[in-house]
Chains A and B, each alone.
Chain A
Amino acid sequence: MTKVRFWIADHFVMIAAILVLLYLFLPVAYTFVFSFNNYKKSNISWNPEGSPTLAHWQNPCGPPGLCDSLVMSLQVGALSTIIATVFGSMIAFALVRHKFRGRAGANLLVFLPMSTPEIVMGASLLTIFVQGYYRVGLKLGFWTIVIAHIVFCISFVVTNVKARLQSLDPRLEEAAQDLFADPRSTFWRVTFPLVLPGISAAALLAFSLSFDDFIITNFVSGDASTFPKFVYVSYLRGIPAEANVVGFSMFVIAVGLTVAGQLISNGRKAA
């Protein structure tokens, strides 16, 4: 009896999880379907006449500004991911592997940005950019977006890399030192490769957060536009279906790349 119950309980959890994943994907599916809509004014309701159409897929860069905003999102994402991952990983190493004065303060400084609502962070950055930092030539635009994204990505990187470092088996590094590896080569040949999966997961998360950020970007971007801001701004006059094409394609590319990466690393492990 208990076995039967456990079987049901086991599968119940998995079924529930799959339903939750479907729920997560439901709006993505809507975005996909409405990329084929032959709409007149706004792409909100389905127009049975002439739909589905491939017109929007044939020229996704048609609406002015759309592809420029996508390119800017990718550039902002890449730059802020690289800088935040380097800075954040360094902080994580210091916090986990070193004892030093001011550790509690450093922890707090990392923790606070994560516990600040985006709107407060955006408001404070806008205030300092227009009231102070413009004096050194920093105008609202690409660079202020990058600066802001690095701030909120650093904390996420630190948390992720820290967790990975804390779960490492210290005996592996001890073994390396027993074999007369100096600290430098122990770090680069043992510790770093072991932490690398944590660092790359953190980088992936940082990129997705940067790519999808709207609230902070909206505050600090001035006239510059990222992809989410483009979509939000065009909402009132109607979002072009080409934005659905781009949004859905980015989703497919992200899933495709990460699944491919997973398969490659699985293959390496098996070999």
Chain B
Amino acid sequence: MTALAQAQIANTTAVEGDHRVKGRRITPYLLLIPGLLWLVMFFVVPMVQLAIVSIESKFPGYPGYYYLDWNVFNYANALSEFWPQLLRSFLFAGLATIMAFLIGYPLAYAMAFKAGRWRNVMMICVVAPFFTSFILRTIAWRQILADEGPIASTLNALHLLPGGHITETWVAVVAGLTYNFLPFMTLPIYSSLERVDPKVIEAGGDLYANGLTTFRRVTLPMSMPGVLAGTLMTFIPAAGDYVNADLLGSDIDTKMVGNVIESQFFRVPGGFPTAAALSFTLMAIILLMLFAYTRRFGTEELL
């Protein structure tokens, strides 16, 4: 069945490939220029500037001024001081990604195959909480998970909560990350499941007559492009987030690298180089993971 799925994917790409209009040579460039120019000016150039700052040193006696001396020790210093926060970011983001996959997949599946005419309404429901503001919703989670809230008080009454708290622990931070980035997991999976012909799944059912095997051998492989995109769209923002750790976590042992970058930028005088070095370390690790991912699965499927 995997072969069939692959054949179908290969088939659709072949059709797409044949239908590029070979228009005037200049048209594609005219279409690209405004958007790409914007990305160069406000994405590429800022990243280069940040890279330069990450190897600068602060001017003694002039707070807020830096000079370029190729100080690569910024990286060593930042890492030796803040490696626990960096490690924690990847750990928390990884856990949240797994949780979001387990919660988001059934939702995406139901939207694609069971919702019928309600699928657009369900899609709106997935995006709609954005309008309440992610900060307000995170604070609501703080209330829900608080010691006197419904979950912690029930668990405490049953003596099932070691430590007695949910807020101010890593559990609350991971729960917040899972919740906040769930739509970014669900939507890509939904859009790749939506393209799957239900007849292929029926054929799997006819041949195996077992829902679970059909799912494992047919549906899941066919939704892999969406799963890959979804895991990246969840993992990357979660790894860089600092709001959940700030509002749901503690000051001691749940801070993530985002919290460090934010405070080095805004509250530590002369902290720009450290913050920039940490940003680039975070970015480099994510790009390496991405590279491994795309080597394995191809870029076109992710976009």
Query: Which residues in A have their C-beta under 8 angstroms from that of B23?
Result: 97-98, 183
B16 with A166: CB separation less than 8 A: yes
Chain A-chain B contacts (Cβ-Cβ < 8 Å), number: 292
Complex interface residues of chain B between 11 and 48 (CB less than 8 A to chain A): 15-16, 18-23, 25, 27-29, 31-32, 34-36, 38-40, 42-47
The segment from B78-86, B152-160, B258-266 found at the interface with A is B258-266
The reply on B135 being an interface residue by CB < 8 A is yes
What sequence of 0s and 1s flags, for each residue 231-269 of chain B, a beta carbon within 8 Å of any chain A beta carbon? 011001101111100010000000000100110010000
- Contacts A13-B109, A123-B275, A255-B128 known; A118 to B237 CB distance under 8 Å? yes
Q: How many residues of A contact B (CB 8 A)?
A: 99
| Interface bits B129-160 vs A (CB < 8 Å: 1, else 0) | 11111111111111110101000000000000
Whether A247 contacts B131 by the Cβ 8 Å rule is: yes
Closest to B138 in A: A27
Tell me the nearest residue of chain A to B89, going by C-beta.
A117
Identify whether the interface residues of A are mostly helix, strand, loop, or mixed.
Answer: helix
Chain A residues positioned under 8 Å from B129 (CB to CB): 24-25, 27-28, 251
State in angstroms the CA–CA spacing of A249 and B289 once bound together: 40
Q: How far is the CA of A24 from the CA of B16 in the complex (A)?
A: 36
B121 and A27 contacting across the interface, CB-CB below 8 Å? no
Asked whether B182 is an interface residue with its Cβ less than 8 Å from the other chain, the reply is yes
Q: Is the CB of A115 within 8 A of B140?
A: no
Chain B residue at minimal CB-CB distance from A155: B39
Shortest distance from the beta carbon of A92 to any chain B beta carbon, whole Å: 9
B279 and A120 form a contact (CB under 8 A): yes
A118 partner, pick from B16, B104, B240, beta carbons under 8 A: B240
With known contacts A91-B36, A97-B21, A118-B237, A247–B132 Cβ distance under 8 A = yes
A115 touches B232 (CB 8 A): yes
The contact of A91 among B19, B35, B258, by CB within 8 Å, is B35
| Interface status of A90 (Cβ within 8 A of chain B) | yes
9 A–B contacts from the bound complex (CB under 8 Å): A13-B109, A13-B110, A28-B129, A28-B140, A44-B146, A117-B241, A123-B50, A127-B46, A215-B240
Distance A31 CA – B139 CA, assembled complex (angstroms): 9
Query: In the complex, which residue of chain B has the Cβ closest to the Cβ of A171?
Result: B19
Q: Give CA–CA (A109, B39) in the complex, Å.
A: 7
Which residues between 85 and 114 of chain B lie within 8 Å of chain A, taking CB atoms? 103-104, 106-107, 109-111, 113-114
A203, CB-defined interface residue at 8 Å: no
- Considering the chains assembled together, what is the distance between the CA atoms of A259 and B121 in angstroms? 7
Q: Does A76 contact B (CB under 8 A)?
A: no
Sorted nearest first, the 6 A-B pairs with minimum C-beta distance are: A117-B240, A17-B110, A87-B35, A27-B140, A98-B28, A124-B46
Residues of A contacting B182 with CB < 8 Å?
Answer: 20, 24
Chain A residues with Cβ below 8 Å from B232 are: 115
Return the contact of A127 from the options B32, B50, B125, B240 (Cβ within 8 A).
B50
In contact, A123 and B39 (Cβ under 8 angstroms)? no
Which chain A residues in 90-134 approach chain B with CB under 8 Å?
90-91, 93-94, 96-100, 106-121, 123-128, 131-132
CB distance from B198 to the nearest CB of A (A): 12
Q: Which chain A residues lie closer than 8 Å to B114 at the CB level?
A: 10, 13-14, 17
Bound: A27/B284 CA distance, A: 34
Q: How far, in Å, is B289 (CB) from chain A's closest CB?
A: 9
Candidates B28, B49, B104; contact of A124 at CB < 8 Å: B49
